[in-house]
Amino acid sequence: MQWDQDRYEEICSILRPFLLQSGFHPSKTKFVPVGAMAGINLVNRDDPDAAALCRWYTGPTLVDLLGQWADT
């Protein structure tokens, strides 16, 4: 699986205005790269296929991020 930081940032830059226009507050909108079919970065990044992702993404996994929001 390829993990290209430039492509991720491009997708985020396209989605931000759309989400803002749709009524989502920017401070409550977060992006997390995931490989859902392979389970990469959903709960952990231990899979060897996540090595390329780990080179540039150091943020939380999707489950960790959802847990942070649940605590607020």
Write the pLDDT tens digit of every residue in 16-60.
999 999 999 998 899 999 998 989 999 999 888 899 999 999 999
Helix (H, G, I), strand (E, B) or coil at 35: strand
pTM of the model: 0.83
Name the helix (H) or strand (E) containing 11: helix 5-21
Q: In the chain, what is the greatest distance between 2 CA atoms, to the nearest angstrom?
A: 38
- What is the pLDDT at residue 28? 86
Residue 27: partners with Cβ closer than 8 Å, 6 or more residues away: none
